[in-house]
Amino acid sequence: MSVTARGADRAREGRLVLVNPSRLYSDGWSTDAEAGRNNPAFEILRGAVQGAVNVEVLDLPTQVGVPESDAQREKFLALTCALIDGTDWDGALVGISCWSSLHYLATLEVARMIKRRSPGTRIVVGGYHPTAVPGDFLEFPDLFDHVVQGAGERVLKGILTGRIKQRLVHAPATRGAPRELLHQRPPERPTAVHYVYLSRGCPFECSYCMESTMSLRQWRALGPRQAADLVVAIDRTGHAGRIAICDPCFGANPKWRHAFLRRLVDRGITTQVWAETRPDTFQEEDFQLLQQLPFQVDFGIDSASETMLRIMRKTNNPRRYLDRTADVCRQLDARGVRFCLYLIFNHPGETDYTIHETVEYLSALRSSLRNNHGHFVAGTYFYVPGTAVETELAQLAEDHGTVVHEPAWWKQRSPHHPLATRVDATTGRPGSEIHGDHWWRAMERLNRPLGAWRFLR
């Protein structure tokens, strides 16, 4: 139900309003997948309080938009203010999802508008950014009544009932199966992509990733049959053009992954499925099953430099990791399975030489793929809080001369991408520093003969 809905049967007490605040300064950075999409996190939160309260949703990216210029920002704020002023907030607990650092300023603006309209309304904020930097919200006691660190569905009912009263709320970690994921629902109308979670957590701790801030370094999944049946239910509606599995590390347990894929084969799904995982966990059975499915598997290998793979904490054995990645890619290509490799350049510690190592590896790999079923996507490292890079920044500065020029870029009222990526990966090391857009130039030289590269500025 939208908060703009009106009806005599709407409860005046025990209301929960979930808010996606949109983003104010992403200016085209990673905004293509937010407006008009389903929000599985909200579906999970709704399920956590099912039957206890009336749940409504204010989805600002869909209802108002994602601004990409100063003129659009002005219009977005005016429309959002009118929407909030025209909403009855009596008896409501408002849950704002500050999913990422990109959502921070929009979260503040929306909270201010709601408190101005209804000062007595309680607001709780959660997501990756509040988990990583709770102080960014605790400094505004007039705006945020509760700040949740961790998975919000574990504490939401306690906040609703008043049992949980403290401002900073630590959601307890759990090691059991994430049964809350069963609250996700298939689409009710046609959509280009439908998003779904099948597991929680990640057993790895890559240096640039915020995932470890949200949960234990443990991979927890629904049973493979339950997980597959969620995907099949989406497929059977015929509404989804593509099913995107949002798990941080899909099928981290090979035995689970094989059982899940076998179930999809047995049920005969026809919708394209996408997931991201690691190539070094793949086995022969994966290739046999994937070639029977409409499935694209992506790998965030991030670098092909042994030096960078160690700095990024990708693996303790970079040579074996790279050899296995190349073998997996060739196997998938030979069997007609679509795949993608993601690369991150300019991560702290990157040098001209490590860029050269990565480009050489990828060039050799691409020439060995005979059927052109794989492609590569390259992006620039951007700094975010709650990661190993943040906690070890002083050591990175000592070892590599790393400089993060905008360590709180999400607080600035200007386009965020150039601020977040303003990082000197290596300085003070003659012959090692990155000169200008060296890696972009190198990739562009490869672009014509490879033909399958995509660039993310």
Return the pLDDT at 456. Answer: 41
Burial of residue 48 (CB within 10 Å: 0-12, 13-18, 19+) is buried
287 belongs to a structural domain: no
pTM: 0.91
Per-residue pLDDT of the chain (457 residues; tens, 9 = 90+): 455 443 334 433 479 999 999 999 998 887 556 767 899 999 999 998 887 889 999 999 999 999 999 999 999 999 999 999 999 998 899 999 999 999 999 999 999 999 999 999 999 999 999 999 999 999 999 999 999 999 888 899 899 988 999 999 999 888 888 999 999 999 999 999 999 999 999 999 899 998 877 766 789 999 999 999 999 999 999 999 999 999 999 999 999 999 999 999 999 999 999 999 999 999 999 999 999 999 999 999 999 999 999 999 999 999 999 999 999 999 999 999 999 999 999 999 999 899 989 989 998 998 999 998 988 888 889 999 999 999 999 999 999 999 999 999 999 999 999 999 999 999 877 666 666 566 666 656 554 443 444 444 3
In 3D space, the residue among 260, 185, 194 whose CA is nearest the CA of residue 221 turns out to be: 260
The answer to whether position 156 is within a domain reads yes
Pairing state of beta strands 220-221 and 199-200?
antiparallel
Query: What is the predicted pLDDT for the residue at 21?
Result: 97
Q: Is residue 93 part of a domain?
A: yes
Q: Which residues contact 279 (CB under 8 A, 6 or more apart)?
A: 299, 301, 324, 325, 328, 329
Query: What's the confidence (pLDDT) of residue 442?
Result: 61
| pLDDT of the residue at 31 | 56
Single out the residue of 243, 329, 224, 319 nearest to residue 278, CA to CA: 329
Name beta bridge partners: 295.
Answer: 273
User: Which residues are CB-neighbours of 303 under 8 A, at least 6 positions away?
Assistant: 309, 312, 314, 343, 344, 345, 347, 354, 358
Strands 122-126 and 92-97: parallel
423 neighbors 403 (Cβ within 8 angstroms): yes
* The predicted structure's pLDDT at residue 451: 40
Q: For the chain, what is the domain count?
A: 1
Q: What's the farthest any 2 CA atoms get from each other in the chain?
A: 72
Q: Strand (E) positions, 191-346?
A: 194-196, 199-200, 220-221, 242-245, 272-277, 295-302, 338-345
Task: Say what the pLDDT of residue 27 is.
Answer: 87
Q: How would you label 409-440 residue by residue, b for 16+ Cβ within 10 Å and e otherwise?
A: bbeeeebbbebbbebbbbeeeeebbbeeebbb
454: alpha, beta or left? (left if phi > 0; alpha if psi -120 to 50): beta
Residue 311 belongs to a domain = no
The answer to whether residue 114 is domain-embedded is yes
User: Residue 102 is part of a domain; what is its CATH number?
Assistant: 3.40.50.280
Q: How far is CA 455 from CA 15, 26, 379, 420, in A?
A: 44, 18, 6, 17
End-to-end CA distance of the chain: give it in Å, rounded. Answer: 37
The predicted structure's pLDDT at residue 444 = 62
Taking alpha carbons only, the member of 164, 252, 162, 155 closest to residue 200 is 252
Residue in the block written with tokens 């989804």: 240
User: Is 264 part of any domain?
Assistant: no
Domain carrying residue 164: 15-170
51 in a domain, yes or no?
yes
Query: In the prediction, which pLDDT does 174 show?
Result: 82
- Answer whether residue 157 is part of any domain: yes
- Decide if 423 contacts 383 (C-beta within 8 A): yes
Encoded amino acid at 427, one letter:
T
